[in-house]
Amino acid sequence: MERKAQVVDADYETEGGEVTVRAFCKTEEGKDLLVKDENFKPYFYAVPERDVEALREKVEEERPFREEGGGEELQILEVEEKELIDGNEEVQVLKVSTSVPANVPKLKNRLWDLEETEECREFDIPFYRRYMVDKGLRPNKWYSFSGDSFKARGIDEGLKVESIEEREQGSFEWDMLAFDLEVYEDEVIMASLYGKEYEKLLTTAEIEEEYVETVDSEKELIQRFVEIIEERNTDVLTGYNTDEYDFTVLRERSNEYGIELSLGRDGERMKFNRRGRFKGARLKGRMHLDLYPFIQHVLAPGIDSETLDLDSIAEEMLGRNKDEMSWEEMKKSWENREGLAEFARYALKDSELTFELAEEIVPQITELSRITGLIPFDTCRLTYGQLTENFLIREAHLRDMLVENRPSQDSRRKRQRQGAYSGGFVYTPDEGLYEDIVTLDFRSLYPTVMVAHNLSPDTLNIEECEEEFEIEKFDYSFCQDGQGFFPELIENLVQDRYEIKSEMREEEKDSAEYKALDNEQQAKKILANSFYGYLGYNGARWYSREAAEATTYMGREYIEETIEMAEEDGYEIVYGDTDSVFLKKDNIKQDIDGFLEKVNSELPKFMELEFEGFFKRGFFTSKDSGEGAKKKYALIDEEGKMKITGFEQVRRDWSPIAKRTQKEVLRKVLENKVDRAFEVAKDNVEALKDGEVPIEELKIYTTLTKPPEEYDSTSPHVEAAKKAKKRGKEIPEESTITYVITSAGGSISDQAEILEYAESYDADYYIENQVIPAVLRVLKVFGYTEGQLKGKGRQSGLGRFQ
């Protein structure tokens, strides 16, 4: 039979010393298809010390190889000579195939021990990824699979694949469901699910709401949850931090009841895949896509918010927020069975926001899956560097290049010990308020620099080279004769992006086609921008400190050159960081295009300086030394939208009163109302002094990582937790302590009480240690002092800007 389908998930199974690759697919008609391949065998390469023939003979002679201690035979199915490219030269290698993936690392050790072997390569590529790479299979693309059918348990159809052919893109809509748990005293009390035209809240409480389904027990709640996913046959299950939290809780609770989380497409139970510090909850055949790791690893650099909690991310990406409900309120509601409808709405809202975020993010994940070829499960959990690396592995395979080995822990440490090389150039601003600023930035500075100068691990220090690019400062060179691996990939990605962008102009802005193109363009941008960081990442297979260092060096050259040109043309340089400059001049709006043209005419092909934005005002502060502070500024555009960088107003160890006051002060300053800014600060200080500030505004969060008694050092949150414990309050391990500095006690730690026991607050503490430092960071620039903020009554400032 023949089926047109796309791959959703992949793994392999071994039985009786034979391996079968499984690709879980979705057909055009929306049916589940399990594709099995029994003919693909695990392999790796052995690079000979001198002669490939000699190595081959030695291998034949030494056969059979056994596990360490003389256990099972490590079967060699085939030994094949191959010619591959290693760096910039061609090498003869042996391709050694074996029966099961688990043999590969063992067999590679045996062969590497031979004198005739220089090294082994490509022995640590997970088998299902190896399969996808070698077969050219990528998720989110259509293929025609042909072969005999078989009956697959729990899945619509099974196919033993004989041939695979690429097919034209089709479109398909996944059934997506977002979920979220509410947990109270280690028990699941609510589970919310949100999908297209679907909202459901499972809970053990009686709540009169349409979407609520009351169950008898926690056990039943979990069983219903599993049932719903099975019934809907959900393709994409999503959530926020579901790997580390929700599924961890679900696993513990279902173990408690002896029930199985049979959430796989074929009924297989949920399994945690450990990957270093993280674990991923894997539901075979379905895409369980936890948004948090993807945001953390991939999207974070492009996110303004300093915290990555659901509320901030939803605010930034959707312009929506979670319902206002504190942990205290939820507990109270549950304990007293009061206002449960509100609690239920809150719980559902979490799933709803997650779902809406997923509608934006999941297409980005599946798009990246298509380019890197990784299954979505991996794409959404791997770090930036690992995504890049999997793309590189695929591209290397297409070019018959040998993949570099992963560095050992030892060489990673060595790379790290080498220390950092210089990064981007940052122009030290003068503190103050500036009007009418234009910001310019280099489009993809590092990628374009790498292309412009052919910076790549495989162009570094080539002996036989006609044209070299040398940087005086460094004792290495990059060969310009042929295009390097990295520049070629970047150029392709940038070129593709350019074409996609022009295609986008032909489409309606909110059409599905436009969205799809936008995601593709976005994914290519993410990848193109990742190469520079990858080269300097100590865990990289294609690590090249030289190429990374040369990239930032040339980046600095270009930005400094731009600044020089701007000065020559009479611009005032306000600020600049890595790839951007902030300029000021009379009639800047008219003149800036001419300046851009001039700079761009002198740049190498592919590099481009672009207009980024026009800002009505910009504010820059200074360090304690009085020198202008780098990376700490606020801008306001003509619509009154603020862009705040580097200020502490979003950090959780600052109280709401300090953060809010700082933000209001910044806004007033940017509106050119410095007097009002001072008054705002002063009003808040006064309110604190008069005891008018609600305790809620004074809470500070710090996370407790072990039981409070185990801490050697004293700190406010630990002391607050200890005292609360003495009062009989349960303080779970690893909980976030919300505390307030009260007016009772000697030291700050003595004064700390958790929020619910705080009946007073230490006005001086909040004035001196929270509000004043936060606002003074802004107001000192205008000559205001701590004394004026604390002084009685109202007096106008004597700032130099008035």
Partner DNA sequence: CTTGACCGGGG
Partner DNA sequence: GTGTACGGTCAAG
Residues at the site binding DNA, with contacts judged by CB under 7 A: 12, 42-44, 101-102, 104-106, 122-127, 130, 180-184, 240-241, 244-245, 273-277, 292, 307-311, 327, 330, 350, 382-386, 409, 537-539, 652, 702-706, 713, 732, 734-736
φ, ψ at 190 (rounded to 5°):
-145, 145
Strand (E) or helix (H) holding 74: strand 73-74
Q: 384 or 647, CB closer to DNA? A: 384
Measured CA to CA, the distance from residue 191 to residue 203 in angstroms comes to 7
Q: 589 or 706, CB closer to DNA? A: 706
Measured CA to CA, the distance from residue 285 to residue 11 in angstroms comes to 9
DSSP class of residue 637? -
Q: 153 or 274, CB closer to DNA? A: 274
CB of 180 to DNA, least distance (A): 5
CB of 248 to DNA, least distance (A): 7
In order, the DSSP letters of 743-771 are SSSSSHHHHEEEGGG-----HHHIIIIII
Query: Of 286, 398, 336, 30, nearest to 184 (Cα)?
Result: 336
DSSP class of residue 539? T
Taking a C-beta distance cutoff of 8 angstroms, is the pair 191, 181 a contact? Answer: yes
What is the β-pairing status of strands 89-98 and 76-86? antiparallel
CB of 513 to DNA, least distance (A): 33
Q: 549 or 686, CB closer to DNA? A: 549
Tokens of residue 76, six digits: 């060699």
Q: 668 or 699, CB closer to DNA? A: 699
Q: 537 or 619, CB closer to DNA? A: 537
Q: 539 or 745, CB closer to DNA? A: 539
Measured CA to CA, the distance from residue 146 to residue 746 in angstroms comes to 78
Spatial CB neighbours of 549, under 8 Å, sequence gap ≥ 6: 421, 422, 474, 536
CB of 492 to DNA, least distance (A): 25
CB of 302 to DNA, least distance (A): 15
Measured CA to CA, the distance from residue 26 to residue 30 in angstroms comes to 6
Taking a C-beta distance cutoff of 8 angstroms, is the pair 189, 334 a contact? Answer: yes
CB of 305 to DNA, least distance (A): 9
What radius of gyration, in Å, describes the C-alpha atoms of the chain? 30
Q: 562 or 655, CB closer to DNA? A: 655
Map residue 243 onto helix, strand or coil.
helix
Spatial CB neighbours of 741, under 8 Å, sequence gap ≥ 6: 698, 700, 716, 748, 751, 752, 761, 762, 765, 766
Q: 244 or 360, CB closer to DNA? A: 244
CB of 387 to DNA, least distance (A): 10
Cis check: omega of the bond before 773, within 30 degrees of 0: no
Q: 5 or 724, CB closer to DNA? A: 724
CB of 788 to DNA, least distance (A): 27
373: left (phi over 0), alpha (psi -120 to 50) or beta: left
CB of 134 to DNA, least distance (A): 8
Taking a C-beta distance cutoff of 8 angstroms, is the pair 666, 642 a contact? Answer: yes
Taking a C-beta distance cutoff of 8 angstroms, is the pair 97, 77 a contact? Answer: yes
Strand (E) or helix (H) holding 143: strand 143-150
Q: 278 or 476, CB closer to DNA? A: 278
CB of 538 to DNA, least distance (A): 7
Q: Tell me the CA end-to-end span of the chain in Å, nearest whole number.
A: 82
CB of 757 to DNA, least distance (A): 16
CB of 355 to DNA, least distance (A): 14
Alpha helices in 569-608 (DSSP H): 588-602
Measured CA to CA, the distance from residue 138 to residue 532 in angstroms comes to 25
CB of 81 to DNA, least distance (A): 18
Q: 102 or 452, CB closer to DNA? A: 102
Q: 217 or 703, CB closer to DNA? A: 703
DSSP class of residue 405? P
